[in-house]
Amino acid sequence: MIKKLMQKTGALQKGHFLLASGLHSEYYFQAQALLENPEDASKTGSQVAALWKDEPIDCAVSLATGGIIIGHETARHLNVRHIFLERKKGVFTLKRNFKLSPGERILLVEDVITTGGSLKEAIKALEKYRPEIIGITSILSRGNANFNYPLKALKESRWPTYKPRKCPLCKKGIKLNAPGTKQSSG
C-alpha cells in the first residue's frame, strides 16, 4: 500500500538530489508530500505502528522536522505519547518541556533513513535520559544505515547514493536540487 501512496502523492521524485546526509541520489523521497493529507498520514502511521504492535513502547520520539508528523501518527496508533528532538545550535535536544524518564521504553521514528547520521546524533543526545530504545522505524530506509537496535521500515530501497566527487549525475551536468530539511534552529 505504501508504494501506491508514494506514487499517488508524488512523494517519490526522480532527478539529481542532495540528501541531508550530503550524498547525491537520482531518487528523493519527499515524505511531507505523502503526509500532507491527514488521512494518508493516519494510514501511514497505522502501518508503521503495526510493525511494532507486539513491542512494549511507552513513547515515540521523532526528529524535527521531518519525523514529527509520522512520529505523531505512529504514536497515536500505538496509543503512546509522542515527543520530538530538535536542533539547538546544531545539536539535538529535548525542548518544550519534553521529558523522558530513565528506563522509559522508546521507539525512534523518522521519515527517511539514508546513512542514519541524524539518528545517531539523536541517540547520543538521548543517552543522558537513559531510556530503553526498543527500536528505530521509518517510512523509508535507503538501506545504508546500521544501528545497535532493531530497524523496521515500511519500505526498503537500495537506490544508489554517491559522494559528490564521484557522482555520475554531476559528471553529466544534471542540475542538483537540494530539497532536504537538515537545519539548525535556535
pLDDT in tens, 80-127: 999 999 999 989 999 999 999 999 999 999 999 988 999 999 999 999
CA atoms within 13 A on the CB side of 63: 29
Long-range contacts from 89-94, C-beta under 8 angstroms, 24+ separation: 89/184, 89/186, 90/184, 91/121, 91/125, 92/63, 92/118, 92/121, 92/122, 92/124, 92/125, 93/125, 94/125, 94/129
Residue-level pLDDT at 19: 87
pTM for the whole thing?
A: 0.87
Domain layout of the chain by residue ranges: 2-171
Q: Are 151 and 142 in contact (CB under 8 A)?
A: no
pLDDT of residue 184: 35
Alpha carbon 71 to chain centroid distance?
9
Q: Domain 2-171 belongs to what topology?
A: Rossmann fold (3.40.50)
2-9 and 38-50 are packed helices; what angle lies between their axes, rounded to 10 degrees?
A: 150
Residue 180: the pLDDT is 67
Contact 172, 35 (CB under 8 A): no
